A and B are shown apart, each in its own frame.
Chain A
Amino acid sequence: QKEVEQDPGPLSVPEGAIVSLNCTYSNSAFQYFMWYRQYSRKGPELLMYTYSSGNKEDGRFTAQVDKSSKYISLFIRDSQPSDSATYLCAMSRNSGGSNYKLTFGKGTLLTVNP
């Protein structure tokens, strides 16, 4: 079993839909949780960052972390064609200074159709 599992999709939705993306993980040592967005032929860019459990909102994006279930989610409201990209979850530990070492899910390919 991989440490981080993410459904690769692809996921196709109409413009304006609410999108739900999620990851599960097995290692309870993960404390930092991130979502990256990666456009085709580009490097990933950080979208959302959460420490430990809880919700975080930024514009149309909401990140949720449920450490008891080892489950994280990213919600996109009022999705736009420009949101079409691969979304990667990532997480890291908080021990021994190893917080830099990101463990990624495989990514979910999202297409928002106009």
Chain B
Amino acid sequence: GAGVSQSPSNKVTEKGKDVELRCDPISGHTALYWYRQSLGQGLEFLIYFQGNSAPDKSGLPSDRFSAERTGGSVSTLTIQRTQQEDSAVYLCASSFSSYNEQFFGPGTRLTVL
């Protein structure tokens, strides 16, 4: 069966530009998560969705970061006015519920020049 998919797989952008990263969770999974993986910090939680609502946004590093989820399925993570320190791999995960195993996508590798 299909796993979590993310697009694009790689994104190179210039400092100050906005970027959108997309996540398609496993069908039927109500919970969706975004993480960021960088060399210095490891893998960090960003945001959690249950359905279309985000009860936990505590990991978003600044107000330049936002995310939405529509139809209880696809999610988009948007980074406005990108900075070089935003360069990282952005991983999406989904699970049947918040109590179940999280399945990760392959990630989007973002490079900000």
Q: How many residues of A contact B (CB 8 A)?
A: 20
Q: Give the distance in Å from the alpha carbon of A102 to the alpha carbon of B44 in the complex.
A: 8
Decide if B107 touches A43 in the complex (CB within 8 Å).
yes
| B interface: dominant SS | strand
Q: From residue B49, how far is it (CB to closest CB) to chain A in Å? A: 10
Q: How large is the interface on B (under 10, 10 to 19, 20 to 34, 35 or more residues)?
A: 20 to 34
Binding site for A on B (CB under 8 A): 4, 31, 33, 35, 41-45, 48, 56, 91, 93, 95, 98-99, 101-107
Interchain residue pairs with CB less than 8 A apart (18): A41-B107, A42-B106, A43-B4, A43-B91, A43-B106, A44-B91, A45-B103, A46-B102, A49-B101, A88-B43, A100-B31, A100-B95, A101-B48, A101-B56, A102-B43, A102-B45, A106-B41, A107-B42
Residues of A within 8 A of B (CB): 41-46, 49, 88, 90, 97-107
